[in-house]
Amino acid sequence: MSEHREFPPIKLAIILDGTVVDIIHTDERFAAIWLSNPIVVDVTPEEGKEIEVHLNDGYVDGKFIHTTEG
């Protein structure tokens, strides 16, 4: 018997240099974010350090600006 896996409703093709490199399954909210041409920045902290970026922080001229909103 084959296993049936349920995927989120939206499928997006990720294209780099004119070639499909991956297809992701996602929900409507995350699909809308991807389709709005976001800036994607690697914010992985260095080992032993805390992440310095939070939701609702600003991003101006290549720098994150901490906001007090939650």
Q: Tell me whether residue 2 is in a domain.
A: no
Three-state secondary-structure class, residue 33: helix
Reduced to 3 states (helix: H, G, I; strand: E, B; else coil), residue 30 is helix
Count how many domains the chain has. Answer: 1
Range of the domain at 38: 10-65
Domain membership of residue 36 (yes or no) is: yes
Q: Let me know if residue 4 belongs to a domain.
A: no
Is 1 a member of any domain? no
Q: What is the pLDDT of residue 51?
A: 84
Tell me if the pTM is above 0.85: no
pLDDT at res. 1: 56
Per-residue pLDDT of the chain (70 residues; tens, 9 = 90+): 567 788 899 999 999 999 999 999 999 999 999 999 999 999 999 999 988 899 999 999 999 998 876 5
pLDDT of residue 69: 60
